[in-house]
Structure 1
């Protein structure tokens, strides 16, 4: 039953994140409630602890990127829902796969948009400015804007990897 719930929320979240760049509360919040109720009803206090630890791990893994503005709240809630549903170990491995996949997607997007060349140019300019200013580092203004993508894609793919290959 939990796998059906997990796969359903992953597919729906993937669709909504690609379509509207949002992971909906109507998906994540009921999943969190279902996870807590199911585990508590089935395993009692230890089930509540299991869901709580998974939930807190899911939140904890993405809270800093969220605070820094790199992720949306929906991404954090999706990871929290995965944790509450599947537990600490599962959400941790999902996060590892997610980070790897997210990094690969990010590198691909940078290379595709020629941002890599601009990043190297900015680095070289900073090194030259550092040398010319005798140790005081100036920040280059060579920036072409923010590159982003719906991170829910990486979360969903990372979670599927965790389902298939485990830890």
Structure 2
């Protein structure tokens, strides 16, 4: 329950700041990561600590690949590492799959809209 509250709070703050500034601050991702690792370590012992750290590394690694392709910013990568630290390995893996699928669908919609706009622009040029 605490993990879900921490996750929701972190995502809410990150969303508000990101929409205003187009940046996710380091203080948010670092504090969420530290709290997530500490919480899981205290609550679940070494297993919780290991799962939290592994979730952090996996979240970072997956989204660092997208960062290298310029699909995400560095703040997004650090946020996914924090989410992995808070929620652990299974959550970050499932989340990554869902994010990639949604991102793919959004990309398809953007391509279709741009294509339609180009067709309209070309038609307008022909009419002139």
Q: Into which bin does the TM-score normalised by the smaller protein fall?
A: 0.7 to 0.9
Aligned residues: 118
Q: Give 1 or 2: higher helix fraction.
A: 2
Partner SS, residue 42 of structure 2: helix
The equivalent of 2:73 in structure 1 is 72
User: How many angstroms apart in 2 are the aligned matches of 1:72 and 1:80?
Assistant: 13
Which 5+ residue runs of structure 1 have no aligned equivalent? 119-167
**Alpha-carbon shift at residue 70 of structure 1 (Å):** 2.4
TM-score normalised by the chain length of structure 1: 0.64
Which 5+ residue runs of structure 2 have no aligned equivalent? 120-128
User: How many angstroms apart in 2 are the aligned matches of 1:83 and 1:116?
Assistant: 39
User: How many angstroms apart in 1 are the aligned matches of 2:109 and 2:19?
Assistant: 17
Q: Deviations over 1:25-73 (max 9, x none)?
A: 1221100000111111122221210111100110111111212322211
TM-score normalised by the chain length of structure 2: 0.82
The equivalent of 2:46 in structure 1 is 45
| Aligned residues of 1:110 and 1:116 also touching (Cα < 8 A) | no
Partner SS, residue 114 of structure 1: helix
User: How many angstroms apart in 1 are the aligned matches of 2:103 and 2:69?
Assistant: 17
User: How many angstroms apart in 2 are the aligned matches of 1:7 and 1:70?
Assistant: 23
- Tell whether 2:92 aligns with 1:91: yes
Partner SS, residue 79 of structure 1: helix
1:127-146 equivalent positions in 2, closer than 5 A? none
The equivalent of 1:122 in structure 2 is none
